[in-house]
Amino acid sequence: MKIRAYEPRDKEKLRFVCRQTAPGFDTDKKRDALFAAYLDYYLDVSPDYCFVAVNDADEPFGYVLCAPDFEEYYRRYFSAEFPYSEKLLKSDPKIWLSLKLTKPFAGKIAKEYPAHLHIDILPEGQRMGTGTALVDTLREKLREDAVPGVFLICGASNVKGVNFYRKYGFAEKKKMFGSILFAIEC
C-alpha cells in the first residue's frame, strides 16, 4: 500500500470506491446524489486535499478528501457557482437537506475545526492501517497550511467507522439525529 496525492485520472476509480462503500445507492439517480454530495465537489474544488491509497499496480482502493474551510465549502456548495447542490436536490432531496443541516449541526465546532473530511476504503483495504495512513497524510497537509483542526460526521450505526475514529483519537463533540460529530486537531 502507498498513499499519494489524488490525480484527475483517479476520479472514476474513486467513484467506484464511493459506490462500493455506500450500500443502497443502486440506481443512476441515487449514484448521482452520492457523488454530488460526498465526492465530486472535493475532487473538483479542493483536489490538493485529496489523497488516495493505492495498491502495487497504482490502483486506488481508498481515499480521504477534505474541504479545508467548512464555511467556504458550505457557501460555495449551496451557491449557483457550482452545480453540485442543484444536482443533489434533484437526485435526492433528503440527502440535500441533511447536507444543508450540516452547518447548524456543526455550528461553533466548525470554527475551531474548520476542515471537514470524508473517507472511504474498500473492504479488502480495511484493517491494515489504510485509514490511519490516509488521515495522517491529510492532517499533515492541513498542518502545513495552518488549518487547526478537522471534523467529520459519522452515522452512529456505522460501528466500524465510529470505532476507527475513536481509536484514531477523534473526540466526540456532538450527537444528533443518529449522527456523531467527531473532531481532532491537526
Distance, in Å, from the CA atom of 70 to the CA atom of 175, rounded to the nearest integer, reads 19
**How confident is the model over 13-60, as pLDDT tens digits?**
999 999 999 877 888 888 888 999 999 999 999 999 999 999 999 999
Give the pLDDT confidence score for residue 26 in this predicted structure.
Answer: 81
In the chain, which ranges are continuous DSSP H helix? Answer: 11-20, 28-38, 40-45, 70-77, 84-91, 93-100, 102-106, 109-112, 130-144, 159-168
Name the pTM for this structure: 0.93
Give the pLDDT confidence score for residue 30 in this predicted structure.
Answer: 86
Does domain 2-154 match CATH 3.30.479.30? Answer: no
Residues 6+ apart with CB under 8 A from 87: 32, 33, 36
Give the pLDDT confidence score for residue 39 in this predicted structure.
Answer: 96
151, three cell numbers: 471534523
**How confident is the model over 67-83, as pLDDT tens digits?**
999 999 999 999 988 88
Give the pLDDT confidence score for residue 80 in this predicted structure.
Answer: 87
**How confident is the model over 133-181, as pLDDT tens digits?**
999 999 999 999 999 999 999 989 999 999 999 999 999 999 987 899 9
Give the pLDDT confidence score for residue 104 in this predicted structure.
Answer: 86
Contact 153, 175 (CB under 8 A): no
DSSP three-state, residue 93: helix
